[in-house]
């Protein structure tokens, strides 16, 4: 569903000038219902000037009247031919100035942990250029020695859903090309939710593979040896006749 321009300012105007429910305003502006309630209480969007959706040709008075009469009615954004195709705009996203210094760290993280992503995908995720990505891939970036890989989601440069979608697309492309992937790569190419649900699979290091067979066989041999060396209790008391004579001679001597 398309969202209005300046959604939070529009919500402020609707709270102040209409009797629409918080849920109706939240659904129309793409906000959470509690956030709209916070706007009404003055805890959220303090100092934000309301943006009139009627004057900006986003809502009609009739649409607002329908919503006020029926609390279950969902407001519909007025069709604007000039906005057609805006959501499909291609190219790198806009990154705020305060977060642009974090982009190299995010690029390094994506290159290191998701090498299957193309430069175009990384560019769209964090809003950077292909030459910058290439310099980090080749470790020719001027500040490469001081860059530490950081998850772009943690930095706020992209959403987890966007990263998961890009990884899934890369996985599908690899599958079409018939590229054989290791278990670790397969685990990376699933979404976060799927990865958390996957059971952990303990692995035996290759350096000690076969050790369990050696241990079992060695244990069996030790057990067999112990059985052979086990003494019979009767043999301790039923000594041979010559042994008794030798013992008596020793006593007499």
Reported confidence tier of residue 105, pLDDT bands at 50, 70, 90: very high
Reported confidence tier of residue 139, pLDDT bands at 50, 70, 90: very high
What pTM value is reported for the model?
0.40
Q: Where are the alpha helices (DSSP H) in the chain?
A: 7-17, 22-29, 33-41, 61-69, 103-113, 119-126, 130-137, 152-155, 160-177, 183-188, 192-197, 211-229, 233-237, 241-252
**pLDDT at position 79 over 60:** yes
Token pair, residue 47, equals 């100092």
> For the segment 161-199, what is each residue's pLDDT rounded down to a tens digit?
888 889 888 888 888 876 555 555 554 555 455 545 555
């Amino acid at each position: 569903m398309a969202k209005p321009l300046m959604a939070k300012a529009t919500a402020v105007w609707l709270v102040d000038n209409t009797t629409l429910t918080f849920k109706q305003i939240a659904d129309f502006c793409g906000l959470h219902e509690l956030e709209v309630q916070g706007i009404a209480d003055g805890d959220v969007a303090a100092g934000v000037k309301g943006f009139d959706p009627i004057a900006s040709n986003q809502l009609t008075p009739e649409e607002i009247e329908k919503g006020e009469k029926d609390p279950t009615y969902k407001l519909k954004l007025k069709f604007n031919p000039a906005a057609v195709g805006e959501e499909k705009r291609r190219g790198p996203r806009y990154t705020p100035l305060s977060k642009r210094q974090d982009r190299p760290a995010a690029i390094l993280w994506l290159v290191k942990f998701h090498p299957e992503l193309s430069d175009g995908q990384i560019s769209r995720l964090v809003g950077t250029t292909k030459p910058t990505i290439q310099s980090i891939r080749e470790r020719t970036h001027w500040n490469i020695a001081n860059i530490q890989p950081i998850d772009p989601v943690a930095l706020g440069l992209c959403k987890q859903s966007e990263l998961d979608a890009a990884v899934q697309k890369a996985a599908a492309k690899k599958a079409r090309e018939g590229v054989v992937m290791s278990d670790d790569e397969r685990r990376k190419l699933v979404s976060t939710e799927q990865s958390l649900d996957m059971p952990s699979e303990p692995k035996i290091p290759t350096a000690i593979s076969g050790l369990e067979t050696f241990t079992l066989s060695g244990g069996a041999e030790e057990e067999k040896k112990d059985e052979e060396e086990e003494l019979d209790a009767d043999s301790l008391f039923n000594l041979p006749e010559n042994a008794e004579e030798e013992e008596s001679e020793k006593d007499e001597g």
